[in-house]
Structure 1
């Protein structure tokens, strides 16, 4: 089928077969399909949606547009599994989760991205560690996945190359907000890592990409359905992003908090509890545990023994960072010149939080990007952020600001005060709103989700 006929069929609401979709995606990767044709196809999908078989075919075609990692030659003793998050503020889960699950016998080849907009990026956080190389050669990446059990790096040009060009066109044609295109973009890259199972962390709340529960649920169900249909059983957790997940937001400040969890120093935090819930699902998905209790016990032992922290240290050292990052964290991570608390104008309890605004406060401090490729300041950010329902006063601040200058501190302090509302807190929101497992996700010929 000619490219124009593929676009015409989708424009007219007809269902495409897998061969036509694969032909189109191959053309994106090899350049034989033009940007204007990609834009027309994306708009046709945006307006007419895709059936489940079409979504699976699109995801598989993007996955197969480049290298698909094969781990069988390494004869790994445990499953190859991973987690992906839709992003949020203070979401430093990956830095804890990968090493923690690896310490329980899994192998985690985690391909991560950079921050853009109000959400932080895993690679930016790791680059706060001096010497950490997020683009190692493929052989080193494979060695670390085998020996340390975990390696967190950036996407290579060989993995799902069609997605990079497809997304660039979607970004300038008002077609980003399309469930089938979002799912294919996320999963095309993830499934190219040769995973045996995947766990998705889909955020919901005012700091999330999908702010309402209905939107988050639709995305989570679609991801579980499509990934499972493409051969990778996937569980999706809908987790809360109505407030900052960690007690910090930034780069070096979040690395410090992640290391505190790995050292067993923050066992009751929101960050710890969400990470543990995701880890439980990963161990079950990888058949390293049969039930929640068994998975939890394995995770608790790995944390208490220092095994999880040791895996993180091995990963950092293996990618060029310091060998003593766990023991000598403050020696290696950058510190901002101005570190000072911002207090509310009156005492009260935190009733609401504009999480996105707090993320943008970090961007304005220099800790995030307004445009792709811009340099960032790893030292700046927020720490000790008050949680919903917590009392604040002259002693307990709204947050501690890490700034490059006094002027930056003053501007950030005003943004933080505007982002936090004091009053009577409502009922606590659950950390885990819903868990959607492969058997729960809808499937079927022609079904839309």
Structure 2
């Protein structure tokens, strides 16, 4: 086969065959396709699209470009993926809650991307926590602990690693076909029986509009189903941070408060239960999503999820007493200041992207690949949409490494909040279900 011929067909609006797309994915992994050809392919897909059959073929080809895990567990192998948002620490709650309900969860996660935080960065705020893991170690941990949250190894979907880097420099990140193939090739390579997707929508998400989020959700669900994995998606609100914190250690704190019942964030709890309910229903561990959501809520409320989280932390190199001593184990920033509200009123809107970039500027994310992340910095006690604020009252707390960084973050947060005289209408947490 010839990469040039495949690209030409795409350019002219024709979808390559299943065999051609699988060949192209293999060429991305083994170097048979050049960078120039990969970039031209990505641009052609962005402009012309692949259609559902082509999207499934590319996803399967990218999945099969590396090692695909297989499991023989006494319960279903389930996972969840979020398209990314601000204060989204659901994975830290959901993986152990699913384990407590009898599922096995090999969660291959990512790092912060742009203005959104990454699950691996959050967990690495826990001293000693290791996210890199070989396949045999993963198999042992899953058999014993039922859940693991790890980075993708070099053997998992290498075609995606190559194409992802090409998309970043070729202006093709926004292609729904390529986003879908990227997300699902890694998830399906984990050998999942079922997957639930959290597609974020709003100012803090990559998909700012409901139409865009729904198009992505439908593409993800139909492609995953076409590739043989039972999948549903929830489109959830990201017009404001899901947690009241944004920043790696600060989001772990909120996770632990919820797991231990110290201080429960209802939105975080409800989204976790809803996503977990979908996963348990798909995996046959619940009669339907509502029954599954109740089982997840019980795992959280009883402390069972906290116990499984503690076992996972210890197995991956973290403190054995983390659940009991988490407040003493996490790093703290040396500078903590309030962000005073410039006027009285109700919070009418929040620019979630601006808040995420403020965390990145504090050092809580990466400006460029290879940057070190400061796990202690970020924002906490964030005011939410609808909250009534007095002039000078805090919009949030800044956790910074230096006074200068704190001062810059204060200005950024103030600019991200819209205050108005009347309270805005409530926005539902779950906007749509795609099955």
TM bucket (normalised to shorter chain) is over 0.9
**Residue in structure 2 matched with residue 220 of structure 1 by the alignment:** 217
Query: How far off is 1:345 after superposition?
Result: 2.0
TM-score scaled by structure 2? 0.97
Residue deviations 1:147-204 (CA, integer Å, cap 9, x gap): 1111001110000001111111121111111111110011001100000000010000
CA distance in 1 between counterparts of 2:348 and 2:148 reads 39
| The 10-residue stretch of structure 1 (289-298 or 135-144) with the greater mean CA deviation from structure 2 | 289-298
Query: How far off is 1:294 after superposition?
Result: 2.3
**Residue in structure 2 matched with residue 444 of structure 1 by the alignment:** none
**Residue in structure 1 matched with residue 60 of structure 2 by the alignment:** 60
| The 10-residue stretch of structure 1 (153-162 or 36-45) with the greater mean CA deviation from structure 2 | 36-45
Which one of 390, 394, 406 corresponds to residue 393 of structure 1?
390
**Residue in structure 2 matched with residue 431 of structure 1 by the alignment:** 429
Return 5+ residue gaps in structure 1 as ranges.
Answer: 438-449
**Residue in structure 1 matched with residue 283 of structure 2 by the alignment:** 286
CA RMSD in angstroms, aligned pairs only: 1.2
Which one of 372, 375, 379 corresponds to residue 378 of structure 1?
375
Contact 1:207 1:243 in 2 (8 A): yes
Query: How far off is 1:260 after superposition?
Result: 1.0
**Residue in structure 2 matched with residue 249 of structure 1 by the alignment:** 246
CA distance in 2 between counterparts of 1:290 and 1:68 reads 29
Query: How far off is 1:298 after superposition?
Result: 1.8
CA distance in 1 between counterparts of 2:402 and 2:390 reads 25
- Secondary structure, aligned partner of 1:400: strand
Tell me, yes or no, if structure 1 residue 239 matches structure 2 residue 258: no
Tell me, yes or no, if structure 1 residue 329 matches structure 2 residue 305: no
Tell me, yes or no, if structure 1 residue 120 matches structure 2 residue 117: yes
Query: How far off is 1:101 after superposition?
Result: 1.0
- Secondary structure, aligned partner of 1:398: strand
Query: How far off is 1:267 after superposition?
Result: 4.0
**Residue in structure 2 matched with residue 21 of structure 1 by the alignment:** 21
Which one of 168, 174, 189 corresponds to residue 177 of structure 1?
174
Matches within 5 A, 1:77-96: 77-96=74-93
- Secondary structure, aligned partner of 1:185: helix
The size of the alignment, in residue pairs, is 434
| The 10-residue stretch of structure 1 (218-227 or 22-31) with the greater mean CA deviation from structure 2 | 22-31
Query: How far off is 1:347 after superposition?
Result: 2.3
- Secondary structure, aligned partner of 2:40: helix
Query: How far off is 1:326 after superposition?
Result: 1.2
CA distance in 1 between counterparts of 2:235 and 2:397 reads 29
**Residue in structure 1 matched with residue 44 of structure 2 by the alignment:** 44
Return 5+ residue gaps in structure 2 as ranges.
Answer: none
In the TM superposition, structure 1's runs of 4+ consecutive aligned residues that sit over 3 Å from their partners are 265-268
Tell me, yes or no, if structure 1 residue 211 matches structure 2 residue 202: no
**Residue in structure 1 matched with residue 3 of structure 2 by the alignment:** 3
**Residue in structure 2 matched with residue 202 of structure 1 by the alignment:** 199
Query: How far off is 1:394 after superposition?
Result: 6.1
**Residue in structure 1 matched with residue 147 of structure 2 by the alignment:** 150
CA distance in 2 between counterparts of 1:297 and 1:432 reads 17
Matches within 5 A, 1:122-141: 122-141=119-138
Contact 2:167 2:173 in 1 (8 A): yes
| The 10-residue stretch of structure 1 (324-333 or 82-91) with the greater mean CA deviation from structure 2 | 324-333
CA distance in 2 between counterparts of 1:293 and 1:213 reads 24
Query: How far off is 1:395 after superposition?
Result: 7.9
Residue deviations 1:295-315 (CA, integer Å, cap 9, x gap): 233223312321100111001
**Residue in structure 2 matched with residue 272 of structure 1 by the alignment:** 269
Query: How far off is 1:321 after superposition?
Result: 0.4
- Secondary structure, aligned partner of 1:249: coil
TM-score scaled by structure 1? 0.94
Residue deviations 1:62-97 (CA, integer Å, cap 9, x gap): 00000000112xxx1210010001101101111001
Contact 1:352 1:425 in 2 (8 A): no
Residue deviations 1:3-22 (CA, integer Å, cap 9, x gap): 21111111111121111111
